[in-house]
Amino acid sequence: MKIRYFTPRNIETLEPWRRLPREIRDDLQVVSQVLPFRVNNYVTDQLIDWQRGIDDPIFQLTILQKGLLPEEAFERVRRALRDGWSAERRAALVAEIRRSLNPDVDTNSADIPALEDEPVPGVQHKFRDTCLIFPAHGQTCHAYCTFCFRWPQFVEDAGVRYATDASHRFQRYVRDHPELTDLLFTGGDPMTMNARHLRAYLEPFLAPEFDHIQTLRIGTKSLAYWPYRFVTDSDADAVLRLFDEITGAGKQLAIMAHYNHGRELSTPIAQEALRRVQRTGAIVRTQSPLVRHINDDPAVLAHLWTEQVRLGCVPYALFVERLTGASRHFALPLERAWRIFRDAYEAAPGLARTVRGPLMSTYYGKVLVEGVAEGQGEPVFVLSLVRSRRPEWTRRPFFARYDSAARWLDELRPADGSATFFFQEPDIIQGAGRGLQRAAAGGPG
């Protein structure tokens, strides 16, 4: 199977698309001025249920629609197109709207490490033992998720792109940091790289000078969006040989697979891709954000995790949707997210309960919403950091005032009336700068 991409330019050549009402098709042309759009022939032929159209979860996952933009922004872009604005005027409008969508890909400068006082591009080192690496050749995806928090890097503003440079200085950085045990390759999707590039990024870490590295993780959506990557692509076997070599060298290879809905696991090719990856000795761990219109239903999540266990995957994380891009359409209140998670967890088999969530990936670390409990006569949120930039903060429960509408940590207030949570020390807050609690983190979200 050869990959073919549909973009705003050629989507009208797609048969089932042309059968949709004119209005829905026009809406995509408007919204795609602002948000990135790209989908491939596997997603359109085998995953989307076109009968259900806009109500289909995979349609919601990949196809732009009117509700993703604030109404006013949508109308302004629609009018600009209708009235034939010059490219320049349109670009200014689009840039303004993008800024208003709270782009948050920028990483806190404190987390970009340095070598000899020079920043090491494409690395983010926040937690002692684990660092993120953004390979320059893997900063795109086989299709774009409508809720992606890395969306700004897929639209024109190349300035927001965050990736390694040709010098590969990240290798020296890793060599010189023996406290590192885990490298997490992320993007975009590193599995969009060809086998040769992938090898150039991974193989060096098999050398003896990297004995401190126990685990190579790859964050990827390819098992869901383009399983042919591991089966019939011309270099599929070369990729699997590389995986074999990594596990054969005694390293743990963890494929952090991004699946949002059980349908992504249902096709024969998706299951074959999984089997082939697993046969190399790689462990497939799974993660997803919890997203309205796609998987905000305990039955859908329980099914997703149950299927993953049946297919030999290890459910790992359920994230809270970040407040960026199209979050107005997708985000859920934290309480609702917790209730959905809890009901799904209750319905899932024991082996699926390795999944953690709902998790907010914040500047301070990964905040777990343990749930809502009765405090002194009043409900409170119970939270903790399962991962934090200061190890001593880990898993210390803390409490936030009950707020049924709060969707993110910065919409919560400490239950005891303090101005800040215990981990929000002034020096840390100052260092946080822009994107205070939402610094970019870990890969295919």
Please report, as ranges, the residues that interact with ligand PLP according to CB under 6 A: 124, 126-127, 130, 132, 184, 361, 366, 387, 441-442
Give the contacts of 154 (CB within 8 A, at least 6 positions apart): 36, 38, 140, 141, 144, 148
Q: Is 136 in the site for ligand SF4 (CB under 6 A)?
A: no
Report the alpha-carbon distance of residue 147 to residue 321 in Å, rounded. Answer: 8
Q: Pick from 271, 277, 273: which is nearest to 246 by CA?
A: 277
Between 78 and 387, CB nearer to ligand PLP: 387
Could you tell me the smallest distance in angstroms from the CB atom of residue 387 to ligand PLP? 4
Select from 1-9, 185-193, 317-325, 411-419 the region that touches ligand SF4 (CB under 6 A).
Answer: 185-193
Q: Which is nearer to ligand SF4, 145 or 240 (CB)?
A: 145
Residue 366 interacts with ligand SF4 (CB under 6 A)? no
Report if residue 42 touches ligand SF4, rule: CB under 6 A. Answer: no
Q: Residues in contact with ligand SF4, total (CB under 6 A)?
A: 12
Options 11-19, 65-73, 99-107, 181-189: segment touching ligand SF4 (CB under 6 A): 181-189
Q: How far is the CB of 192 from ligand SF4 (least distance, A)?
A: 9
Q: Which does 127 bind (CB under 5 to 8 A by kind): ligand SF4, ligand PLP, none?
A: ligand PLP
- Least distance (Å) between residue 61 CB and ligand SF4: 8
Question: Is residue 69 a contact residue for ligand SF4 (CB under 6 A)?
Answer: no
Q: Which partner in ligand PLP, ligand SF4, none is near 357 (CB below 5 to 8 A by kind)?
A: none
CB of 304 to ligand SF4, least distance (A): 16
List the x/- string, 244-273, binding to ligand SF4 by CB under 6 A: --------------x---------------
**Binding residue (CB under 6 A) for ligand SF4 from 141, 155, 290, 294:** 141
Minimal distance, residue 357 CB to ligand PLP, in Å? 12
Binding of residue 189 to ligand SF4 (CB under 6 A): yes
- Phi and psi at 145, nearest 5°, equal -75, 135
Residue 185 near ligand SF4 by CB under 6 A: no
Using CB under 6 A, which of 103, 188, 365, 442 touches ligand SF4? Answer: 188
Q: Does 320 bind ligand SF4 (CB under 6 A)?
A: no
C-beta of 366 vs 407, nearer to ligand PLP: 366
Kindly tell me which of 79 and 395 has the beta carbon lying closer to ligand PLP. 395
145 binds ligand SF4 (CB under 6 A): yes
Of the pair 303, 366, the CB lying nearest ligand PLP is at 366
Q: SS3 for the chain, per residue?
A: CCCCEECCCCHHHCHHHHCCCHHHHHHHHHHCCCCCCCEEHHHHHHHCCCCCHHHCHHHHHHCCCHHHCCHHHHHHHHHHHHCCCCHHHHHHHHHHHHHHCCCCCCCCHHHCCEECCEECCCEEEEECCEEEECCHHHCCCCCCCCCCCCHHHHCCCHHHCCCCCCCCHHHHHHHCCCCCCEEEECCCCHHHCCHHHHHHHHHHHHCHHHCCCCEEEEEECHHHHCHHHHCCCCCHHHHHHHHHHHHHCCCEEEEEEECCCHHHHCCHHHHHHHHHHHHCCCEEEEEEEECCCCCCCHHHHHHHHHHHHHCCCEEEEEEECCCCCCHHHHCCCHHHHHHHHHHHHHHCCHHHCCCEEEEEECCCEEEEEEEEEECCCCEEEEEEEEEECCHHHECCCEEEECCCCCCCHHHCCECCCCCCCCCCCHHHHHHHCCCCCCCCCCCCC
Q: Binding residue for ligand SF4 (CB under 6 A) from 57, 122, 315, 445? A: 445
Residues making contact with ligand SF4 (CB under 6 A): 141, 144-145, 148, 150, 187-189, 221, 258, 444-445
